[in-house]
Amino acid sequence: MNIFRRKRPQGERIETQWSMALRRFRKDKMAMTGVVIFLFILLVAVVQTTVNPSGWNTLSNDYYQAPSSHHIFGTTSAGLDLFSACLKGALQDLIVALVVSSMSMILGTIVGAIAGYFGGMLDAVLMRLVDLLLVVPLLTILIVMSNLFQNSSNSPLFIALLIGFLSWTGLSRLVRAEFLALRERPFVEASIALGASSWRVITRHLIPNAIGTIMVNTTLTVSGAILLESTLSFLGLGIVPPAVSLGMLVQEGQGAATTSPWEFLFPAGLLLIIVLCIFAIGDGMQAAFDPRNARRKK
């Protein structure tokens, strides 16, 4: 982030917000474990899908194989290699989560910034809009919406856009609260007094100071998005065949959970591990950016 680069005297070490957070984050064992496991899964998934790009939708003659060296996660009753399918599904989930969290980050920051900085009528209108979206639980709206559009298009990207379009409300409230507090601070008043435009104040002073909140919330949105998407897919409303996702694999594997447990356990376990990793990362970031208000107090 270039915003933080300032000219400074040679040899003098200044600890920026980022380096301080990074230092704290590196010391956090739980978060670092999360990072390592997450990167490992990501690496394996990328390698697997590039080496064997059609493995996840090719049916072989090995039906109902228990996990072995040939099929690491076993196969389904239709002869689908679960290892490829799970990793492809995990990648799909992560792509969805990436789209959701970036949408939520952008929308949430913009709405929160406008509401918090300008205040007045604009604030009231935007916050009522947020209230409107919060009045009905997110899962319920998503069920209605994905049912509505099921016939026309139910591509993973569409589901991602749908979730992303509805999940920025939490961040916008946080950003607004942060901006309300920051706006009163002397350095912001000073820069307004010096004639800085609203745009400059927001992008140069307010957003950099709220970046911790934004980053942490975005990371937590990733895990939230994966959970939501997999729940929708489990209900048969999210990602549907021919695409593949972990929630869908769990749903398909549940019927065989007692006879061939790998069909259920591997997708569910992978889903759990991924969400757990992202959770640990988000929590570690929260502790690193804002040690005083971290949820997990040491």
C-alpha–C-alpha distance, residues 199 and 204, integer Å: 8
Q: Is 265 left (phi over 0), alpha (psi -120 to 50) or beta?
A: alpha
> Considering the rule CB under 8 A, would residue 121 count as an interface residue with other proteins?
no
CB of 297 to other proteins, least distance (A): 5
Length of the chain (residues): 298
> For other proteins, which is the closer residue by CB, 76 or 251?
251
> Considering the rule CB under 8 A, would residue 138 count as an interface residue with other proteins?
yes
C-alpha–C-alpha distance, residues 31 and 232, integer Å: 28
Q: Which of 49, 221, 245, 260 binds other proteins (CB under 8 A)?
A: 221
CB of 192 to other proteins, least distance (A): 25
Check: CB of residue 82 under 8 Å from CB of residue 263.
yes
C-alpha–C-alpha distance, residues 234 and 8, integer Å: 54
CB of 40 to other proteins, least distance (A): 17
Q: Which of 76, 109, 245, 286 binds other proteins (CB under 8 A)?
A: 286
- In the chain, % helix, strand, coil (3-state, to 5) comes to 70, 0, 25
Binding site for other proteins (CB under 8 A): 128, 131-132, 134-140, 143-145, 147-151, 170, 174, 177, 213, 216-217, 220-221, 223-224, 227, 230-231, 234-235, 247, 250-251, 254, 257-258, 261, 264, 268, 271-272, 275-276, 279-280, 282-283, 286, 293, 295-298
